[in-house]
Amino acid sequence: MDTVCSRPAHAKINLHLAVGLPYPDGYHPIQSLFALVGLSDTITLRWKESETFDVQVQGLEAYCSPKDNTLTKAARLWHEAGGSTLHLEIKCDKQIPVKAGLGGGSSDAASLLAMLQAIDSKHALPAQVLHSVALQVGSDVPFFLYGYSAALVTGKGENVAPLDSRPMPALLVMPTFFDVSTSSAYRMLDEMRLNQENVYMPGIQELLQIYEKPSHKWRGLLYNDFQSCSSNGAFYTALETVAKEYEGFFGMSGSGACWFFVSEDASQVHDVHADVVAAFGPRVRCWITHLMS
């Protein structure tokens, strides 16, 4: 008989994202403040006992081939590491915009891994093996797997240290006329820094002290290295012209394309939202959400 369970997969924003020069394998060291937001996909898992392992995924056909979606990848790697032979039918109700820098694909994978660990305890992976499976699916997956509302993430994404959450209202703004591929964003950053021998990053203690301040004081202190090399800089400048009149913090999330505004004061978030809708109309999709506690 089939058994079913379901679980949300929340998006994240990067309140701060400093990127170093590439490691020899081409990946980059990051220093990032991650925060979970309320916007989420829903992953539904139906499973039954079987003699062989099998996985089918619905809901991601519009975005990538079945073998390339993060749910299939996560399920296969989990099976290879632990030997489970379940038959899995997975449905993703996609709400998080794709190629947005909100980590939707990574969060979907982490949510599935957490469910698989719970439903088949006989084949559940030890923590270290699970961490390595998560990292093979994607650099952001360990953050989502730990389930912290906020974290300092370093290395390629494998070092995840929990932070006190800073729950507050948030506005997400996604352009409808462009999106961003993570690998090309890293490539563009490298091209811009071809002759650079090192890259500035704040010290960790300094960063954590900044994070404790009210959000409007993050301005000019927290930043995103990808924003400086975005080929759509004019779009973010136009958003910032609107946002800087209000009390809060704003920036691009991850490698883009989504932009956010956060403030302890909900009225500031609503006012920025109204101004953005008036100025950008159908060129953006907006969500009013919150940084999670």
Ligand X SMILES: C[C@@](CO)(OP(=O)(O)O)[C@H](O)COP(=O)(O)OP(=O)(O)OC[C@H]1O[C@@H](n2ccc(N)nc2=O)[C@H](O)[C@@H]1O
Ligand Y SMILES: Nc1ncnc2c1ncn2[C@@H]1O[C@H](COP(=O)(O)OP(=O)(O)O)[C@@H](O)[C@H]1O
175 counts as binding ligand X under rule CB under 6 A: no
CB-wise, 66 or 83, nearer to ligand Y?
Answer: 66
Residue 186: name the closest of 106, 101, 249, 102 by CA: 101
* Sole binder of ligand Y in the list 70, 139, 149, 224 (CB under 6 A): 70
CB of 198 to ligand Y, least distance (A): 26
* Cα separation, 264 vs 216, whole angstroms: 9
For residues 119, 125, 131, 137, the Cα torsion angle rounded to the nearest 10 degrees is -70
DSSP string, 119-163: H-GGGPPPHHHHHHHHHHH-TTHHHHHHT-SEEEEEETTTEEEE-
* Sole binder of ligand X in the list 183, 195, 198, 205 (CB under 6 A): 183
Task: Choose, from 12, 108, 120, 225, the residue flagged as catalytic.
Answer: 12
Piece in contact with ligand X (CB under 6 A), picked from 85-93, 182-190, 197-205, 274-282: 182-190
Give long-range contacts, CB 8 A cutoff, 24+ apart: 264-270: 264/168, 264/169, 264/214, 264/215, 265/169, 266/169, 269/169, 269/170, 269/171
The residues, ordered by sequence, that sit 6+ positions from 66 with a Cβ below 8 Å of its Cβ are 57, 60, 72
CB-wise, 75 or 269, nearer to ligand Y?
Answer: 75
Give long-range contacts, CB 8 A cutoff, 24+ apart: 79-85: 79/53, 79/55, 81/125, 81/129, 81/130, 81/132, 81/133, 82/120, 82/123, 82/124, 82/125, 82/129, 83/123, 84/53, 84/116, 84/120, 84/122, 84/123, 85/49, 85/50, 85/51, 85/52, 85/53
* Sole binder of ligand Y in the list 82, 101, 169, 248 (CB under 6 A): 101
Judged by beta carbon distances under 5 to 8 A according to partner kind, the member of ligand X, ligand Y, none in contact with residue 98 is ligand Y
Known binding-site residue numbers: 97-107
| Residues 8-27, interacting with ligand X (CB under 6 A) | 14, 17, 26-27
| Residues 225-264, interacting with ligand X (CB under 6 A) | 254-255
131 counts as binding ligand X under rule CB under 6 A: no
63 counts as binding ligand Y under rule CB under 6 A: yes
CB of 26 to ligand X, least distance (A): 6
Contact characters 185-224, ligand Y, x per CB under 6 A: ----------------------------------------
Known binding-site residue numbers for ATP: 97-107
Residues forming the site for ligand Y (CB under 6 A): 60, 63-64, 68-71, 92, 98-106, 108, 182, 254-255
Residues forming the site for ligand X (CB under 6 A): 14, 17, 26-28, 30, 32, 101, 103, 106, 138-140, 156-157, 182-183, 186, 254-255
Catalytically annotated residues: 12, 140
